[in-house]
Structure 1
Amino acid sequence: MLIVVTGPPAAGKSSWIDAHAKASDIVIDLDRITRALTGPGAPSWNQDPLQLRVAHRARYAAMREAFELRDKTDVYLIHTMPTAKWLARYKRMDAKVIAVDPGRTIVMQRIEAMRDPEMKRVATRWYRSRPATQPGARAGRTMEW
């Protein structure tokens, strides 16, 4: 099964996966991939454009391969803000989509404490893109649709 985990930066998407995935599952997380591809001492949430470029390519290659294996093992994919096109693709694959959102105030506090300040823009864009009627739109909820 494919499980797509969405949510703003610092919402707890990786932590949600850590609480649900088994050791034998496939986890595709851009933060983890970037960390694996950077040298010692790099920040946990590295946003260096050169390293991100390589990490994005590795992520897409992993996605292509993992999508073929989703009937053999669970595949967890973090996709912060999937477009309508990506959501349609996930729907065709019978994916479960999970939105992790502890609320804007908590997210902004976490970004302030732990992340690159640029992530505030990404979080703001994430919240603006979510109509109030969309599943998971209420703060403090983890929703599935």
Structure 2
Amino acid sequence: MTSLEDKVFQCASGEKRLNPDELRQYFGTYAERVVLAVLLEDAEKKIVIEHFPLILKKLLAVYPNLSLKLSPNLSDQTQFTYIKAAQALNISATIVDEAKAHSPYGLILHSNQAENLDKVLFSELYSDILAPKETEPVLEKKGFFTKLFGK
């Protein structure tokens, strides 16, 4: 009879996971394991998608056991591109869709052990990629009469 009472008590007390809100935010992993977190709006940007394979290769050299978790809110084509880049480097990639999850991230790259990194946000680590490049100033074209009369 005690096992039935224990089961009822466990179900009544809520989730069995340690820190479930953190797990929902980081797609089923803990914050201390996260190596790179890309916001949803940044993950959809073409410039980020283009640079991701090189960034992934650099991070894999430092952290050998990486996994990639993707948001179901990313477009299918974007998900496929990230999964393909991860699989090219033998990194497992998973699309995580948890019912109660409300994560601001589009993708999470994490290790299988605690790394405890201070900066993991893509916009902080790779701000030079996201920053718009300055273009050369466009010279104002002068018309024929402006050139002729100098006004």
Give the structure-1-normalised TM-score: 0.32
Asked which structure has the greater CA Rg, the reply is 2
Taking CA–CA contacts closer than 8 Å with sequence separation of 6 or more, which of the two structures ends up with the larger relative contact order?
A: 1
Give the structure-2-normalised TM-score: 0.31
